[in-house]
Amino acid sequence: MLLIGLTGSIATGKSTVSSILSSPPYNLPIIDADLLARKVVEPGTPGYRAIVSHFGPTTPDLLLPAGPDLPENGPDGKGRPLNRPALGRRVFGQDEAVKKDRAKLNSIVHPAVRREMFYAVLRAYLRGERAVVLDVPLLFESQLDRYCGMVMVVAVKDPQVQMARLRARDPHLSEEDARNRVKSQGDVRDKARRAERRDRGKGLVVWNDGGREELTEEVRRAWEEVERWSPRWWGWVLLGCPPAAVGLALWGVLMNFRINKAWAAEEGERAKAKL
């Protein structure tokens, strides 16, 4: 089974590409990290309790306010849901205090999301899926790309397109808030360059500076590349021989470690050249 890591940045169209891939003619199962991240911090979960314990004392509006439709202890007695905009203000930004808050939140959420992802991938393999998509905004940053046979980055060439889409989608955001959210996920053009630097058949970029029709054509082109390097018959071979599938997966992880090491060295040289 081919594991495709789908990533990008906020307002680049990753969710639209995910929707296209989940529909005919592709019909791929999608494992959405954002949905899992919400699931693992629902009231009553260990993630929820950890967030409330750490951020609650210094964030008075961390939870949605109680009212006629929302009891003090939540609708099911497990607590009121998180106020996501309030939490977002704590973790989106570039100063050191905000970075520490973001790192703390990630340390709570990411391990739980990884566990949910593992079980979802295992279920997809046992169902005999030809491929599964890991939809992860911070795929490279969380190092989940090392487990993917293919990485697909949804990117825009013009940063103003990204900002305009974000402000149109979330009009409540100020220009500064929008800029902080874009910066918190890194420059998507760097992610595109990183995908292009992977070995042949291991990285693709879907450019999304146009409309839905152009994006659909970009996805079709990208999928042709996927089929070229990972034909359907190969997936059936691996499904019929689990030891071979495990061995190939381990080999792929080792190769991805090599790719990431080379990328880190290249980025180090580029940083030195700028000094």
- Tens-digit pLDDT profile for residues 61-98: 999 999 998 999 988 889 999 999 999 888 988 789 89
Instruction: Determine what percent of the chain is predicted with pLDDT higher than 90.
Output: 65
pLDDT of residue 242: 79
Domains and CATH numbers, the chain: 1-29+131-275 (3.40.50.300), 37-128 (3.40.50.300)
pLDDT of residue 82: 95
pLDDT in tens, 32-49: 999 999 999 999 999 999
pLDDT of residue 75: 87
Task: Tell me if 166 sits within 8 A of 181, measured CB to CB.
Answer: yes
pLDDT in tens, 135-192: 998 899 889 999 999 999 999 999 889 999 999 999 888 888 888 888 878 899 999 9
Dist CA 85 CA 177 (whole Å): 11
Mean pLDDT of 110-115: 93
* Pairing verdict, β 2-7 and 131-135: parallel
- Phi/psi class of residue 79: alpha, beta or left (left: φ > 0; alpha: ψ in -120 to 50)? left
Rounded to 5 degrees, what angle do the CA atoms 27, 257, 133 make?
10
Mean pLDDT of 249-275: 87
pLDDT of 273 over the 90 cut: no
pLDDT of 245 over the 90 cut: no
pLDDT of 212 over the 90 cut: yes
pTM for the whole thing?
0.85
